Structure 1
Protein backbone atom coordinates (compact mmCIF):
# COMPACT_ATOMS: atom_id res chain seq x y z
CA UNK A 1 0.00 0.00 0.00
CA UNK A 2 1.24 3.48 -0.84
CA UNK A 3 2.39 5.27 2.38
CA UNK A 4 0.07 8.22 1.69
CA UNK A 5 -2.87 5.85 1.16
CA UNK A 6 -2.19 4.20 4.52
CA UNK A 7 -1.80 7.58 6.24
CA UNK A 8 -5.08 8.75 4.69
CA UNK A 9 -6.88 5.72 6.13
CA UNK A 10 -5.39 6.51 9.56
CA UNK A 11 -6.50 10.13 9.16
CA UNK A 12 -10.05 9.03 8.34
CA UNK A 13 -10.05 6.76 11.40
CA UNK A 14 -8.79 9.54 13.68
CA UNK A 15 -11.41 11.98 12.35
CA UNK A 16 -14.20 9.44 12.86
CA UNK A 17 -13.00 8.70 16.39
CA UNK A 18 -12.83 12.41 17.27
CA UNK A 19 -16.36 12.94 15.99
CA UNK A 20 -17.71 9.91 17.86
CA UNK A 21 -16.02 10.91 21.13
CA UNK A 22 -17.39 14.44 20.82
CA UNK A 23 -20.93 13.12 20.29
CA UNK A 24 -20.66 10.75 23.26
CA UNK A 25 -18.86 13.04 25.75
CA UNK A 26 -20.19 16.44 24.57
CA UNK A 27 -16.60 17.70 24.62
CA UNK A 28 -15.21 19.01 21.35
CA UNK A 29 -11.46 19.27 21.95
CA UNK A 30 -10.52 15.73 20.93
CA UNK A 31 -8.72 16.95 17.82
CA UNK A 32 -6.85 19.44 20.00
CA UNK A 33 -5.59 16.49 22.06
CA UNK A 34 -4.22 14.85 18.91
CA UNK A 35 -2.86 18.06 17.38
CA UNK A 36 0.70 17.67 18.65
CA UNK A 37 0.79 13.88 18.22
CA UNK A 38 -0.44 13.07 14.70
CA UNK A 39 1.85 15.24 12.50
CA UNK A 40 5.07 13.80 14.03
CA UNK A 41 3.57 10.30 13.69
CA UNK A 42 2.76 10.88 10.01
CA UNK A 43 6.23 12.30 9.36
CA UNK A 44 7.85 9.31 11.07
CA UNK A 45 5.66 6.96 9.03
CA UNK A 46 6.66 8.54 5.71
CA UNK A 47 10.32 8.53 6.76
CA UNK A 48 10.15 4.85 7.73
CA UNK A 49 8.90 3.94 4.26
CA UNK A 50 11.87 5.45 2.44
CA UNK A 51 14.65 3.18 1.27
CA UNK A 52 17.96 3.44 3.09
CA UNK A 53 19.29 6.23 5.30
CA UNK A 54 18.12 9.72 4.43
CA UNK A 55 19.56 12.74 6.22
CA UNK A 56 16.67 15.00 5.21
CA UNK A 57 13.92 12.65 6.42
CA UNK A 58 15.78 11.93 9.65
CA UNK A 59 16.08 15.66 10.31
CA UNK A 60 12.42 16.23 9.48
CA UNK A 61 11.39 13.46 11.88
CA UNK A 62 13.50 14.93 14.68
CA UNK A 63 12.18 18.46 14.10
CA UNK A 64 8.55 17.28 14.00
CA UNK A 65 9.18 15.27 17.17
CA UNK A 66 10.64 18.30 18.97
CA UNK A 67 7.66 20.41 17.89
CA UNK A 68 5.22 17.74 19.08
CA UNK A 69 6.93 17.18 22.43
CA UNK A 70 7.00 20.89 23.24
CA UNK A 71 3.38 21.46 22.23
CA UNK A 72 2.19 18.35 24.08
CA UNK A 73 3.89 19.55 27.27
CA UNK A 74 2.42 23.04 26.99
CA UNK A 75 -1.06 21.68 26.26
CA UNK A 76 -0.86 19.21 29.17
CA UNK A 77 0.21 21.76 31.77
CA UNK A 78 -2.77 23.94 30.83
CA UNK A 79 -5.10 21.01 31.54
CA UNK A 80 -5.87 20.16 27.93
CA UNK A 81 -5.82 16.41 28.53
CA UNK A 82 -7.81 16.57 31.76
CA UNK A 83 -11.55 15.78 31.76
CA UNK A 84 -13.40 18.96 30.88
CA UNK A 85 -10.28 20.55 29.38
CA UNK A 86 -12.22 21.91 26.43
CA UNK A 87 -11.17 24.90 24.36
CA UNK A 88 -13.26 27.88 25.52
CA UNK A 89 -13.87 28.88 21.89
CA UNK A 90 -15.87 25.71 21.21
CA UNK A 91 -17.97 26.52 24.28
CA UNK A 92 -18.65 30.00 22.94
CA UNK A 93 -19.51 28.68 19.48
CA UNK A 94 -22.00 26.22 20.99
CA UNK A 95 -23.64 29.15 22.74
CA UNK A 96 -23.90 31.16 19.52
CA UNK A 97 -24.91 28.48 17.00
CA UNK A 98 -28.19 26.52 16.87
CA UNK A 99 -27.58 22.87 17.89
CA UNK A 100 -28.12 21.42 14.37
CA UNK A 101 -25.67 23.94 12.87
CA UNK A 102 -23.05 23.22 15.50
CA UNK A 103 -23.51 19.46 14.96
CA UNK A 104 -22.66 19.92 11.28
CA UNK A 105 -19.76 22.22 12.20
CA UNK A 106 -18.43 19.58 14.58
CA UNK A 107 -18.61 16.84 11.97
CA UNK A 108 -17.22 18.78 9.02
CA UNK A 109 -14.74 21.23 10.51
CA UNK A 110 -13.75 20.20 14.02
CA UNK A 111 -13.44 16.47 13.35
CA UNK A 112 -12.65 16.06 9.65
CA UNK A 113 -11.16 19.29 8.25
CA UNK A 114 -8.76 19.66 11.16
CA UNK A 115 -7.66 16.02 10.96
CA UNK A 116 -7.04 16.40 7.24
CA UNK A 117 -4.94 19.47 8.02
CA UNK A 118 -2.80 17.46 10.44
CA UNK A 119 -2.03 15.01 7.65
CA UNK A 120 -1.36 17.79 5.14
CA UNK A 121 1.22 19.33 7.47
CA UNK A 122 3.25 16.12 7.16
CA UNK A 123 3.12 16.01 3.35
CA UNK A 124 6.59 17.55 2.93
CA UNK A 125 7.97 14.29 4.36
CA UNK A 126 5.98 12.26 1.83
CA UNK A 127 7.34 14.44 -0.98
CA UNK A 128 10.88 14.20 0.41
CA UNK A 129 10.61 10.39 0.56
CA UNK A 130 10.54 10.20 -3.24
CA UNK A 131 13.28 7.91 -4.62
CA UNK A 132 14.27 10.71 -6.99
CA UNK A 133 14.65 13.34 -4.24
CA UNK A 134 17.69 15.58 -4.48
CA UNK A 135 20.45 15.18 -1.87
CA UNK A 136 20.76 17.44 1.17
CA UNK A 137 21.51 21.02 0.16
CA UNK A 138 21.80 24.59 1.48
CA UNK A 139 18.00 25.06 1.57
CA UNK A 140 17.71 22.06 3.92
CA UNK A 141 20.27 23.63 6.25
CA UNK A 142 18.47 26.97 6.17
CA UNK A 143 15.09 25.33 6.84
CA UNK A 144 16.52 23.40 9.80
CA UNK A 145 18.06 26.49 11.41
CA UNK A 146 14.99 28.68 10.89
CA UNK A 147 12.69 25.95 12.23
CA UNK A 148 14.79 25.70 15.42
CA UNK A 149 14.78 29.49 15.89
CA UNK A 150 10.99 29.58 15.49
CA UNK A 151 10.61 26.63 17.86
CA UNK A 152 12.64 28.54 20.46
CA UNK A 153 10.53 31.66 19.86
CA UNK A 154 7.28 29.78 20.39
CA UNK A 155 8.67 28.14 23.52
CA UNK A 156 9.64 31.52 24.97
CA UNK A 157 6.26 33.06 24.08
CA UNK A 158 4.29 30.21 25.64
CA UNK A 159 6.44 30.33 28.77
CA UNK A 160 5.88 34.08 29.12
CA UNK A 161 2.14 33.54 28.70
CA UNK A 162 2.16 30.69 31.23
CA UNK A 163 4.00 32.76 33.86
CA UNK A 164 1.62 35.68 33.31
CA UNK A 165 -1.49 33.50 33.67
CA UNK A 166 -0.11 31.84 36.81
CA UNK A 167 0.62 35.27 38.36
CA UNK A 168 -2.83 36.48 37.31
CA UNK A 169 -4.51 33.57 39.09
CA UNK A 170 -2.35 34.09 42.17
CA UNK A 171 -3.14 37.78 42.57
CA UNK A 172 -6.83 37.46 41.64
CA UNK A 173 -8.62 38.35 38.43
CA UNK A 174 -9.58 41.82 39.67
CA UNK A 175 -5.99 43.01 40.15
CA UNK A 176 -3.15 43.87 37.85
CA UNK A 177 -3.01 43.72 34.03
CA UNK A 178 -5.64 41.55 32.36
CA UNK A 179 -3.61 40.44 29.36
CA UNK A 180 0.07 40.14 28.53
CA UNK A 181 1.75 43.06 26.75
CA UNK A 182 5.38 42.53 27.73
CA UNK A 183 8.23 40.36 26.46
CA UNK A 184 7.60 39.03 22.96
CA UNK A 185 3.99 40.19 23.31
CA UNK A 186 5.23 43.77 23.16
CA UNK A 187 6.05 43.23 19.48
CA UNK A 188 3.21 40.91 18.46
CA UNK A 189 -0.18 40.22 20.00
CA UNK A 190 0.32 36.54 19.14
CA UNK A 191 4.04 35.75 18.80
CA UNK A 192 3.36 32.07 19.50
CA UNK A 193 0.85 31.93 16.61
CA UNK A 194 3.35 33.65 14.31
CA UNK A 195 6.06 31.11 15.17
CA UNK A 196 3.65 28.19 14.80
CA UNK A 197 2.49 29.10 11.30
CA UNK A 198 6.00 30.09 10.20
CA UNK A 199 7.41 26.76 11.39
CA UNK A 200 5.17 24.82 9.03
CA UNK A 201 6.01 27.10 6.12
CA UNK A 202 9.65 26.40 6.96
CA UNK A 203 8.93 22.66 7.12
CA UNK A 204 7.44 22.97 3.64
CA UNK A 205 10.85 24.13 2.37
CA UNK A 206 12.15 20.58 2.78
CA UNK A 207 9.81 19.49 -0.02
CA UNK A 208 11.20 22.26 -2.22
CA UNK A 209 14.76 21.27 -1.33
CA UNK A 210 14.00 17.68 -2.33
CA UNK A 211 13.44 18.87 -5.90
CA UNK A 212 9.62 19.12 -6.00
CA UNK A 213 9.70 22.79 -6.98
CA UNK A 214 8.35 25.85 -5.21
CA UNK A 215 4.75 24.97 -6.00
CA UNK A 216 4.04 21.37 -5.02
CA UNK A 217 1.27 19.47 -3.23
CA UNK A 218 2.90 19.96 0.19
CA UNK A 219 2.02 23.67 0.11
CA UNK A 220 -1.60 22.75 0.95
CA UNK A 221 -0.77 22.24 4.64
CA UNK A 222 0.76 25.63 5.47
CA UNK A 223 -1.82 27.39 3.28
CA UNK A 224 -4.74 25.81 5.16
CA UNK A 225 -3.01 26.37 8.51
CA UNK A 226 -2.55 30.07 7.71
CA UNK A 227 -6.23 30.40 6.84
CA UNK A 228 -7.22 28.54 10.02
CA UNK A 229 -5.07 30.74 12.25
CA UNK A 230 -6.37 33.88 10.55
CA UNK A 231 -9.95 32.96 11.44
CA UNK A 232 -9.06 31.58 14.87
CA UNK A 233 -7.08 34.69 15.82
CA UNK A 234 -9.90 37.00 14.75
CA UNK A 235 -12.40 35.04 16.86
CA UNK A 236 -10.05 34.88 19.86
CA UNK A 237 -9.48 38.64 19.76
CA UNK A 238 -13.20 39.28 19.43
CA UNK A 239 -13.79 37.37 22.66
CA UNK A 240 -10.87 39.06 24.43
CA UNK A 241 -12.03 42.54 23.42
CA UNK A 242 -15.54 41.80 24.66
CA UNK A 243 -14.12 40.72 28.02
CA UNK A 244 -11.47 43.46 28.31
CA UNK A 245 -12.38 46.73 26.48
CA UNK A 246 -8.83 48.06 26.92
CA UNK A 247 -7.65 45.30 24.58
CA UNK A 248 -8.63 47.63 21.73
CA UNK A 249 -5.80 49.97 22.76
CA UNK A 250 -3.35 47.06 22.62
CA UNK A 251 -4.65 46.23 19.14
CA UNK A 252 -3.99 49.78 17.96
CA UNK A 253 -0.38 49.82 19.13
CA UNK A 254 0.83 46.26 18.57
CA UNK A 255 1.20 44.14 15.44
CA UNK A 256 -1.33 41.32 15.15
CA UNK A 257 1.02 38.48 14.18
CA UNK A 258 4.30 39.52 12.54
CA UNK A 259 6.60 40.93 15.26
CA UNK A 260 7.23 44.64 14.82
CA UNK A 261 8.02 47.70 16.90
CA UNK A 262 4.96 48.98 18.79
CA UNK A 263 3.20 52.09 17.55
CA UNK A 264 2.70 55.03 19.87
Structure 2
Protein backbone atom coordinates (compact mmCIF):
# COMPACT_ATOMS: atom_id res chain seq x y z
CA UNK A 1 0.00 0.00 0.00
CA UNK A 2 3.04 2.24 -0.47
CA UNK A 3 2.24 5.64 -1.90
CA UNK A 4 -1.37 5.59 -0.71
CA UNK A 5 -2.19 8.45 1.72
CA UNK A 6 -2.58 7.23 5.35
CA UNK A 7 -6.17 8.48 5.53
CA UNK A 8 -7.14 6.48 2.43
CA UNK A 9 -5.33 3.40 3.78
CA UNK A 10 -7.29 3.77 7.02
CA UNK A 11 -10.64 4.05 5.23
CA UNK A 12 -9.82 1.04 3.04
CA UNK A 13 -8.97 -0.98 6.16
CA UNK A 14 -12.53 -0.44 7.46
CA UNK A 15 -14.33 -1.53 4.29
CA UNK A 16 -16.72 -4.47 3.88
CA UNK A 17 -14.45 -5.93 1.17
CA UNK A 18 -11.46 -5.88 3.51
CA UNK A 19 -13.38 -7.74 6.21
CA UNK A 20 -14.55 -10.33 3.68
CA UNK A 21 -10.97 -10.94 2.60
CA UNK A 22 -9.79 -11.21 6.22
CA UNK A 23 -12.38 -13.90 6.89
CA UNK A 24 -11.61 -15.83 3.71
CA UNK A 25 -7.82 -15.61 3.96
CA UNK A 26 -7.82 -16.17 7.71
CA UNK A 27 -9.89 -19.34 7.63
CA UNK A 28 -6.79 -21.52 7.78
CA UNK A 29 -5.87 -19.83 11.06
CA UNK A 30 -9.07 -20.96 12.80
CA UNK A 31 -7.15 -23.44 14.94
CA UNK A 32 -4.44 -23.15 17.51
CA UNK A 33 -1.00 -24.51 16.51
CA UNK A 34 -0.08 -28.12 17.29
CA UNK A 35 2.00 -28.21 20.44
CA UNK A 36 3.12 -30.42 23.29
CA UNK A 37 2.52 -29.75 26.96
CA UNK A 38 6.11 -28.71 27.63
CA UNK A 39 5.83 -25.57 25.51
CA UNK A 40 2.07 -25.02 25.33
CA UNK A 41 2.20 -21.58 26.98
CA UNK A 42 5.00 -20.36 24.71
CA UNK A 43 3.18 -21.59 21.58
CA UNK A 44 -0.04 -19.97 22.71
CA UNK A 45 1.69 -16.62 23.30
CA UNK A 46 3.40 -16.88 19.90
CA UNK A 47 0.04 -17.60 18.25
CA UNK A 48 -1.63 -14.69 20.04
CA UNK A 49 1.17 -12.30 19.05
CA UNK A 50 1.23 -13.22 15.37
CA UNK A 51 -2.41 -13.99 14.57
CA UNK A 52 -4.70 -11.29 13.23
CA UNK A 53 -6.62 -10.09 16.35
CA UNK A 54 -9.99 -10.61 14.62
CA UNK A 55 -9.18 -14.19 13.59
CA UNK A 56 -7.95 -14.93 17.11
CA UNK A 57 -11.23 -13.69 18.62
CA UNK A 58 -13.32 -15.80 16.21
CA UNK A 59 -11.34 -18.88 17.25
CA UNK A 60 -11.56 -18.12 20.96
CA UNK A 61 -15.30 -17.40 20.85
CA UNK A 62 -16.02 -21.06 20.14
CA UNK A 63 -14.43 -22.16 23.41
CA UNK A 64 -15.99 -20.22 26.28
CA UNK A 65 -19.54 -19.37 27.27
CA UNK A 66 -19.06 -16.77 30.01
CA UNK A 67 -21.28 -13.99 28.66
CA UNK A 68 -20.30 -11.20 31.07
CA UNK A 69 -16.58 -11.99 31.15
CA UNK A 70 -15.46 -12.93 27.63
CA UNK A 71 -16.20 -9.52 25.99
CA UNK A 72 -13.93 -7.94 28.61
CA UNK A 73 -11.07 -10.23 27.58
CA UNK A 74 -11.73 -9.50 23.92
CA UNK A 75 -11.65 -5.75 24.60
CA UNK A 76 -8.36 -6.04 26.51
CA UNK A 77 -7.02 -8.27 23.72
CA UNK A 78 -7.59 -5.61 21.05
CA UNK A 79 -6.33 -2.82 23.34
CA UNK A 80 -3.10 -4.45 24.52
CA UNK A 81 -2.15 -6.62 21.52
CA UNK A 82 0.53 -4.37 19.95
CA UNK A 83 1.61 -2.89 23.28
CA UNK A 84 2.45 -6.39 24.61
CA UNK A 85 4.41 -7.74 21.67
CA UNK A 86 5.80 -5.01 19.44
CA UNK A 87 8.05 -1.97 19.73
CA UNK A 88 8.51 1.22 17.75
CA UNK A 89 11.47 1.76 15.44
CA UNK A 90 13.39 3.42 18.30
CA UNK A 91 12.84 0.41 20.58
CA UNK A 92 10.22 2.03 22.81
CA UNK A 93 6.98 0.22 23.61
CA UNK A 94 4.10 0.82 21.23
CA UNK A 95 1.86 3.62 22.57
CA UNK A 96 -1.56 2.67 23.83
CA UNK A 97 -4.52 3.84 21.78
CA UNK A 98 -6.59 5.96 24.14
CA UNK A 99 -9.76 5.28 22.18
CA UNK A 100 -9.28 1.56 22.77
CA UNK A 101 -8.39 2.16 26.42
CA UNK A 102 -11.61 4.12 27.02
CA UNK A 103 -13.75 1.52 25.25
CA UNK A 104 -12.05 -1.34 27.12
CA UNK A 105 -12.62 0.40 30.47
CA UNK A 106 -16.30 0.90 29.65
CA UNK A 107 -16.72 -2.75 28.62
CA UNK A 108 -14.95 -3.80 31.85
CA UNK A 109 -17.50 -1.74 33.80
CA UNK A 110 -20.26 -3.50 31.87
CA UNK A 111 -18.77 -6.93 32.62
CA UNK A 112 -18.24 -6.25 36.33
CA UNK A 113 -21.81 -5.04 36.78
CA UNK A 114 -23.36 -7.91 34.84
CA UNK A 115 -21.21 -10.51 36.61
CA UNK A 116 -22.23 -9.15 40.01
CA UNK A 117 -25.91 -9.01 39.08
CA UNK A 118 -25.80 -12.57 37.75
CA UNK A 119 -23.98 -13.72 40.89
CA UNK A 120 -26.45 -12.24 43.36
CA UNK A 121 -29.32 -13.93 41.50
CA UNK A 122 -27.57 -17.27 41.97
CA UNK A 123 -26.64 -17.52 38.30
CA UNK A 124 -23.36 -19.32 38.94
CA UNK A 125 -24.99 -22.10 40.94
CA UNK A 126 -25.13 -25.53 39.28
CA UNK A 127 -28.91 -25.57 39.64
CA UNK A 128 -29.47 -22.25 37.84
CA UNK A 129 -31.06 -22.26 34.41
CA UNK A 130 -32.71 -19.46 32.41
CA UNK A 131 -36.46 -19.95 32.89
CA UNK A 132 -37.09 -19.18 29.21
CA UNK A 133 -34.94 -22.13 28.12
CA UNK A 134 -36.87 -24.37 30.53
CA UNK A 135 -40.17 -23.34 28.94
CA UNK A 136 -38.80 -23.79 25.43
CA UNK A 137 -37.37 -27.20 26.26
CA UNK A 138 -40.81 -28.33 27.42
CA UNK A 139 -42.41 -27.25 24.13
CA UNK A 140 -39.74 -28.33 21.63
CA UNK A 141 -39.20 -32.02 20.72
CA UNK A 142 -35.94 -33.43 22.08
CA UNK A 143 -34.35 -33.70 18.61
CA UNK A 144 -35.11 -30.08 17.71
CA UNK A 145 -34.02 -28.92 21.16
CA UNK A 146 -30.62 -30.54 20.65
CA UNK A 147 -30.22 -28.67 17.34
CA UNK A 148 -31.35 -25.39 18.94
CA UNK A 149 -29.01 -25.91 21.90
CA UNK A 150 -25.94 -26.65 19.78
CA UNK A 151 -26.54 -23.99 17.12
CA UNK A 152 -28.12 -21.03 18.92
CA UNK A 153 -27.17 -21.37 22.59
CA UNK A 154 -23.68 -22.81 22.12
CA UNK A 155 -22.50 -21.37 18.81
CA UNK A 156 -24.49 -18.27 17.82
CA UNK A 157 -24.42 -16.65 21.25
CA UNK A 158 -20.68 -17.21 21.59
CA UNK A 159 -20.04 -15.80 18.14
CA UNK A 160 -22.21 -12.83 19.12
CA UNK A 161 -19.90 -12.18 22.09
CA UNK A 162 -17.08 -11.73 19.60
CA UNK A 163 -19.14 -9.72 17.12
CA UNK A 164 -20.24 -7.04 19.58
CA UNK A 165 -16.60 -6.24 20.42
CA UNK A 166 -15.42 -6.13 16.78
CA UNK A 167 -15.76 -2.29 16.66
CA UNK A 168 -12.58 -2.26 18.74
CA UNK A 169 -10.87 -4.30 16.03
CA UNK A 170 -11.92 -1.63 13.50
CA UNK A 171 -10.35 0.99 15.78
CA UNK A 172 -7.19 -1.15 15.98
CA UNK A 173 -6.98 -1.52 12.20
CA UNK A 174 -7.67 2.15 11.52
CA UNK A 175 -4.91 3.14 13.94
CA UNK A 176 -2.37 1.08 11.99
CA UNK A 177 -2.68 3.52 9.09
CA UNK A 178 -3.73 6.81 10.62
CA UNK A 179 -4.01 7.75 14.27
CA UNK A 180 -7.10 9.92 14.79
CA UNK A 181 -7.18 11.99 18.03
CA UNK A 182 -10.06 11.68 20.46
CA UNK A 183 -12.98 13.71 19.16
CA UNK A 184 -16.65 14.62 19.57
CA UNK A 185 -17.81 11.17 18.40
CA UNK A 186 -15.77 9.56 21.19
CA UNK A 187 -17.42 11.94 23.65
CA UNK A 188 -20.89 11.06 22.32
CA UNK A 189 -20.10 7.34 22.49
CA UNK A 190 -18.88 7.61 26.08
CA UNK A 191 -21.92 9.67 27.13
CA UNK A 192 -24.33 7.22 25.48
CA UNK A 193 -22.60 4.28 27.16
CA UNK A 194 -22.75 5.90 30.60
CA UNK A 195 -26.44 6.73 30.11
CA UNK A 196 -27.19 3.14 29.15
CA UNK A 197 -25.08 1.90 32.06
CA UNK A 198 -27.00 4.10 34.53
CA UNK A 199 -30.35 2.90 33.17
CA UNK A 200 -29.37 -0.75 33.46
CA UNK A 201 -27.87 -0.44 36.94
CA UNK A 202 -30.88 1.51 38.23
CA UNK A 203 -33.43 -0.81 36.59
CA UNK A 204 -31.70 -3.96 37.83
CA UNK A 205 -31.53 -2.57 41.37
CA UNK A 206 -35.22 -1.65 41.31
CA UNK A 207 -36.06 -5.11 40.01
CA UNK A 208 -33.90 -6.77 42.64
CA UNK A 209 -35.60 -4.78 45.46
CA UNK A 210 -39.02 -5.69 44.05
CA UNK A 211 -38.25 -9.41 43.93
CA UNK A 212 -36.93 -9.20 47.48
CA UNK A 213 -40.33 -7.76 48.50
CA UNK A 214 -42.07 -10.66 46.77
CA UNK A 215 -39.75 -13.16 48.46
CA UNK A 216 -40.34 -11.69 51.91
CA UNK A 217 -44.11 -11.68 51.33
CA UNK A 218 -43.97 -15.34 50.30
CA UNK A 219 -41.86 -16.24 53.35
CA UNK A 220 -44.36 -14.43 55.58
CA UNK A 221 -47.12 -16.49 53.90
CA UNK A 222 -49.24 -13.41 53.31
CA UNK A 223 -52.70 -13.99 51.83
CA UNK A 224 -53.56 -12.40 48.42
CA UNK A 225 -55.86 -9.89 50.14
CA UNK A 226 -52.92 -8.73 52.30
CA UNK A 227 -50.79 -7.84 49.30
CA UNK A 228 -50.85 -4.41 47.67
CA UNK A 229 -49.49 -2.62 44.58
CA UNK A 230 -46.93 -4.31 42.37
CA UNK A 231 -46.37 -7.17 44.82
CA UNK A 232 -50.03 -8.05 44.39
CA UNK A 233 -49.84 -7.67 40.60
CA UNK A 234 -46.74 -9.84 40.47
CA UNK A 235 -44.60 -7.54 38.29
CA UNK A 236 -42.88 -4.17 38.63
CA UNK A 237 -44.52 -1.02 37.23
CA UNK A 238 -42.86 1.75 39.25
CA UNK A 239 -39.54 3.61 39.06
CA UNK A 240 -38.01 3.31 35.60
CA UNK A 241 -40.56 0.61 34.82
CA UNK A 242 -43.22 3.31 34.77
CA UNK A 243 -41.71 4.64 31.54
CA UNK A 244 -40.45 1.44 29.93
CA UNK A 245 -41.42 -2.20 30.39
CA UNK A 246 -37.77 -3.18 29.91
CA UNK A 247 -35.49 -0.21 30.74
CA UNK A 248 -32.59 -2.59 31.48
CA UNK A 249 -32.84 -4.06 27.96
CA UNK A 250 -32.84 -0.56 26.48
CA UNK A 251 -29.79 0.34 28.56
CA UNK A 252 -27.96 -2.78 27.39
CA UNK A 253 -28.57 -2.08 23.71
CA UNK A 254 -27.58 1.58 24.16
CA UNK A 255 -24.21 0.55 25.60
CA UNK A 256 -23.31 -1.67 22.66
CA UNK A 257 -24.42 0.91 20.10
CA UNK A 258 -22.08 3.29 21.97
CA UNK A 259 -19.23 0.80 21.57
CA UNK A 260 -19.98 0.71 17.84
CA UNK A 261 -19.67 4.51 17.69
CA UNK A 262 -16.01 4.22 18.67
CA UNK A 263 -15.37 2.56 15.29
CA UNK A 264 -16.92 5.62 13.62
CA UNK A 265 -14.80 7.95 15.78
CA UNK A 266 -11.65 6.22 14.50
CA UNK A 267 -12.18 7.82 11.07
CA UNK A 268 -13.48 11.24 12.14
CA UNK A 269 -13.98 13.64 10.36
CA UNK A 270 -14.08 11.39 7.25
CA UNK A 271 -17.60 10.15 7.98
CA UNK A 272 -18.33 8.43 4.70
CA UNK A 273 -21.19 5.97 4.33
CA UNK A 274 -18.76 3.07 4.62
CA UNK A 275 -17.42 4.49 7.88
CA UNK A 276 -20.86 5.18 9.36
CA UNK A 277 -22.06 1.68 8.37
CA UNK A 278 -18.87 -0.33 8.63
CA UNK A 279 -18.77 -4.16 8.98
CA UNK A 280 -18.57 -4.09 12.78
CA UNK A 281 -22.22 -2.97 12.85
CA UNK A 282 -23.26 -6.59 12.24
CA UNK A 283 -22.72 -7.53 15.89
CA UNK A 284 -24.80 -4.76 17.46
CA UNK A 285 -27.59 -5.25 14.90
CA UNK A 286 -27.66 -8.98 15.72
CA UNK A 287 -27.75 -8.15 19.44
CA UNK A 288 -30.61 -5.67 18.91
CA UNK A 289 -32.62 -8.25 16.95
CA UNK A 290 -31.92 -10.86 19.62
CA UNK A 291 -33.31 -8.50 22.25
CA UNK A 292 -36.50 -8.07 20.21
CA UNK A 293 -37.01 -11.84 20.14
CA UNK A 294 -36.06 -12.22 23.81
CA UNK A 295 -38.39 -9.38 24.87
CA UNK A 296 -41.32 -10.85 22.93
CA UNK A 297 -40.74 -14.26 24.50
CA UNK A 298 -40.42 -12.80 28.00
CA UNK A 299 -43.63 -10.79 27.60
CA UNK A 300 -45.62 -13.78 26.37
CA UNK A 301 -44.57 -15.73 29.45
CA UNK A 302 -45.33 -12.80 31.77
CA UNK A 303 -48.73 -11.95 30.24
CA UNK A 304 -49.73 -15.59 30.56
CA UNK A 305 -48.80 -15.55 34.24
CA UNK A 306 -50.15 -12.19 35.43
CA UNK A 307 -53.65 -10.93 34.61
CA UNK A 308 -52.80 -7.22 34.56
CA UNK A 309 -49.75 -7.45 32.31
CA UNK A 310 -51.69 -6.90 29.08
CA UNK A 311 -53.06 -3.67 30.57
CA UNK A 312 -49.52 -2.67 31.48
CA UNK A 313 -48.51 -3.24 27.86
CA UNK A 314 -51.16 -0.73 26.78
CA UNK A 315 -49.98 2.05 29.07
CA UNK A 316 -46.17 1.71 29.04
CA UNK A 317 -43.54 1.80 26.29
CA UNK A 318 -41.95 -1.56 25.39
CA UNK A 319 -38.28 -0.48 25.40
CA UNK A 320 -37.58 3.24 24.89
CA UNK A 321 -38.40 5.19 28.08
CA UNK A 322 -41.34 7.47 27.26
CA UNK A 323 -43.86 9.46 29.33
CA UNK A 324 -46.26 7.11 31.07
CA UNK A 325 -49.74 6.69 29.65
CA UNK A 326 -52.98 6.07 31.54
CA UNK A 327 -52.46 4.96 35.13
CA UNK A 328 -52.46 1.19 35.45
CA UNK A 329 -54.52 1.54 38.64
CA UNK A 330 -57.26 3.30 36.62
CA UNK A 331 -57.17 0.67 33.89
CA UNK A 332 -57.45 -2.11 36.46
CA UNK A 333 -60.45 -0.44 38.13
CA UNK A 334 -62.07 0.11 34.73
CA UNK A 335 -61.63 -3.54 33.79
CA UNK A 336 -62.59 -4.91 37.19
TM-score by length of 1: 0.90
Deviation track 1:168-202 (CA, whole Å, cap 9, x = no partner) reads 11012843331000000000000000000111011
| 2:68/2:111 contact within 8 Å kept | yes
| 1:137-176 correspondence runs (5 A) | 137-172=183-218, 174=224, 175=227, 176=232
Q: 2:118 aligns with which of 75, 94, 98?
A: 75
Question: How many angstroms apart in 1 are the aligned matches of 2:119 and 2:63?
Answer: 24
| 1:204-215 correspondence runs (5 A) | 204-211=260-267, 213-215=275-277
Question: How many angstroms apart in 1 are the aligned matches of 2:285 and 2:246?
Answer: 18
| 1:23-172 correspondence runs (5 A) | 31=65, 34-50=66-82, 51-130=94-173, 131-132=176-177, 133-172=179-218
Deviation track 1:33-52 (CA, whole Å, cap 9, x = no partner) reads x1111111101101112442
Aligned residue number for residue 334 of structure 2: none
Aligned residue number for residue 11 of structure 1: 61
User: Which deviates the most, 70-79 or 129-138?
Assistant: 129-138
Question: How many angstroms apart in 2 are the aligned matches of 1:136 and 1:262?
Answer: 38
Question: How many angstroms apart in 2 are the aligned matches of 1:166 and 1:195?
Answer: 22
Gaps in structure 1 of 5+ consecutive residues = 15-30
How many residues align? The count is 246
Aligned: 1:203 with 2:235: no
Q: CA deviation at 1:134?
A: 2.1
Based on CA coordinates, which of the two structures has the bigger radius of gyration? 2
Moved over 3 A (4+): none
SS of the equivalent of 2:74 reads: helix
TM-score by length of 2: 0.71
| 2:192/2:254 contact within 8 Å kept | no
Question: How many angstroms apart in 1 are the aligned matches of 2:95 and 2:169?
Answer: 15
Question: How many angstroms apart in 2 are the aligned matches of 1:237 and 1:190?
Answer: 10
Aligned residue number for residue 24 of structure 2: none
Question: How many angstroms apart in 2 are the aligned matches of 1:96 and 1:160?
Answer: 32
Aligned: 1:230 with 2:280: no
SS of the equivalent of 2:153 reads: helix
Question: How many angstroms apart in 2 are the aligned matches of 1:8 and 1:234?
Answer: 29
Question: How many angstroms apart in 1 are the aligned matches of 2:142 and 2:185?
Answer: 48
Aligned residue number for residue 313 of structure 2: 251
| 2:233/2:308 contact within 8 Å kept | no
Q: CA deviation at 1:13?
A: 2.1
Gaps in structure 2 of 5+ consecutive residues = 1-50, 83-93, 268-273, 327-336
